[in-house]
Chain A
Amino acid sequence: MAEEQVKKHRTPPDPNSAKYKLGQIAAKAYQDAFDAKVRGEKIGWCASNFPVEIPETLGIAVVYPENQAAAIAARGFGQQMCEISEADGYSNDICAYARISLAYAKTKDCEGQQVPMPDFVLCCNNICNCMIKWYENLAKELGIPMIMIDIPFNPDYDVPESEVAYVKAQFLDAIHQLEKITGKKWSPEKYKEVMEYSGRSSRAWLAATATAKYEPSPFNGFDLLNHMAVMVTARGKKEAAEAMELLLKEYEQNHAEGKSTYRGEEKYRIMFEGIACWPYLRATSHGLKDRGINMVTTIYADAFGFIYKDFDDMCAQYCKVPNAINLEYARDKRVKLCKENKVEGLLVHTNRSCKLWSGFMPEMSRQIGEECGIPVASFDGDQADPRNFSEAQYDTRVQGLTEIMEANKEG
């Protein structure tokens, strides 16, 4: 579910800018893992909603196969990797992140994004259950251990104490297992530090995304898709907290000066639902920009802001990630974003890879549209498999959405 830094610098970036710093942090996360491997340390592959605080506190380097797959797809290598795993018998109905990752486990090479090979995998099913089989197969193919955290789907708004206890016991067990595998030791002081940095990063990140409430928004929503890579992989680090605080400052400053990273006039404001269509990032973003549409908000970005006060509370937060909660709760979160950010339309990516997310969208988007009085359009695509998208279809639907938003403005 996580994303990757997609570099498209036309002018050399200012090394003091948040954009530059965030790019460096995301790239360094990969380098740190390579360096650790060279030093002979054990490194892991980790699911994006696995508690990053655990490896961070233990000082274990991990990389994120979802981010890697997104990068591979965005750089045009998605299809060739999907075809490798399909030739091994994986159905093309399976999540393309999984197919790409399983292909990489076999080839151990893809110039779209190289990563060091893991000594263990860290899986957490608060994202989806496809993840379990994907990681099980990685572990089996590579002959390495898998640490699994089971987080049940939550039918309620609150997380019951019994669930927190169930999850906490697994977190503690995961720490134990990792200590054994890597020889590193858990330090409560270090955890406190990581928790503080993670809190600082998250608060700044959520405040930065919330500046979209200003009209015009001080940023182009596609920026969030780049910056969130740091929230996924490095939010417990000091540099991440500082870079996120800088990002917030820049957005506030943009607003004060009437500037925005969105080039051109912001005529319409929409919420984008679903994972980005990485193989067609340019086509999908241009389809919006050419019509003066700014994607001001997406639950996808906010999903990686975690604010908690202690270990138990952290467990509860991981039980509340967007894919682990019920339709009504998920809807309310999105309605809040739409209202706070004065959204005028909703564009839904019916993502062929992600059954869980796309499956409940027709009903959820209907309810959001009704509650917020905004038009909804959806398009077919895929986060990483380029064979599931038609630019003409996308264009017609975005144009239809724009025409309704225009008519609504006219009254």
Chain B
Amino acid sequence: MYTFGIDIGSTTSKCVVLKDGTEIVSSSLFVGGIGTKSPFLAREEALKKAGITDKDISGTAATGYGRNRTEDADFNVSELSCHALGAHFIFPRVRTIIDIGGQDAKVISLSGDGKMRDFLMNDKCAAGTGRFLDVMAAILQVPVNEMEGMAQKAQKISQISSTCTVFAESEVISQLANGVEMPDLIAGICDSVAGRVASLAKRITIVPEVCMSGGVARNGGVRLAMERYLGTEIRFSEQAQLFGAIGAALYAFQKS
């Protein structure tokens, strides 16, 4: 039996085809989230890669910010619960998830069976989210995916003291003007995101194992800084961005 999970986020759309609730048959990820063609394209691609059609799907669940606005799903589940179940699928021993997406950050604690027990989310401020990294990357004219490599070359992590994205922007510009090395500055930016989310995480009891999910999890600079702040190892999977869609496909399986 095939089930389908679709995660329509603020900046990306992700899909997963699951077989019998145990095997990921295919997945897709498109830049562009709610209000774009990406959810449709992601769906088409995932089906194509799995070599199946709509008719083969026994159930579809949607998650993410666009979960209420898609007609392709039978029901929707919050991204909080989906991330919990998806992370549990990849890392069965994970009890705490730190998810940093395009416009929000969440810390989720889960039980041994992958059910969400508690969660905290950032306030409406964009600091500590993917948007903060995007803004900084644009100022520095460094692609986001190159930030990790550059951060690793840092000699002395610079300090970005403003939590406000707009203030931090001018702070970064003035540090740049003062001759701070690019790697030090980028490491400082990663550190700032990690520090902000770590202080959110500390409000929940952090039970190991801990993993990161969401797009920002791909940034090793943020991951390493987070490990430093929380004093614990952080698991990472190449599928970190798909946890929501995997969780949705698992919910679809449970309901089918």
Q: Which residues of A contact B (CB under 8 A)?
A: 350, 362, 366, 369, 375-378, 380, 388, 390, 392-393, 395-397, 399-400, 403-404, 407
Q: Which positions 48-101 of chain B face chain A at CB distance < 8 Å?
A: 65, 68, 77-81
Residue in A369, A388, A403 whose beta carbon sits within 8 Å of that of B78 in the complex: A403
Q: Is the CB of B81 within 8 A of A400?
A: yes
Q: Is the CB of B119 within 8 A of A388?
A: no
Q: Which residues of B contact A (CB under 8 A)?
A: 65, 68, 77-81, 104, 115-119, 121, 123-124, 203
B105 to chain A, nearest CB (A): 12
**Extra A-B contacts (18), CB below 8 Å, given A378-B121, A380-B123, A396-B65:** A350-B123, A366-B203, A369-B118, A376-B118, A392-B65, A393-B104, A393-B124, A396-B121, A397-B121, A399-B78, A399-B80, A400-B78, A400-B80, A403-B80, A403-B116, A404-B116, A404-B119, A407-B115
A-side binding surface: helix, strand, loop or mixed? Answer: helix
Q: Is the CB of A375 within 8 A of B118?
A: yes
Q: Is the CB of A396 within 8 A of B80?
A: yes
A382 to chain B, nearest CB (A): 10
Q: Is the CB of A362 within 8 A of B79?
A: no
A375 to B80, CA, bound (A): 13
Q: Which residue of chain B is the closest to A404 with respect to CB atoms?
A: B116
Residues of B within 8 A of A400 (CB): 78, 80-81, 116, 119
Residues of A within 8 A of B79 (CB): 396
24 contacts between A and B (CB under 8 A): A350-B123, A362-B203, A375-B117, A380-B123, A380-B124, A388-B124, A390-B124, A393-B121, A396-B80, A396-B121, A399-B77, A399-B78, A399-B80, A400-B78, A400-B80, A400-B81, A400-B116, A403-B81, A404-B116, A404-B118, A404-B119, A407-B115, A407-B116, A407-B117
Q: Which residue of chain B is the closest to A381 with respect to CB atoms?
A: B124
A390 to B104, CA, bound (A): 12
A393 to B116, CA, bound (A): 18
Residues of B within 8 A of A397 (CB): 121
Q: Which residue of chain A is the closest to B115 with respect to CB atoms?
A: A407
A392 to B103, CA, bound (A): 12
B143 to chain A, nearest CB (A): 28
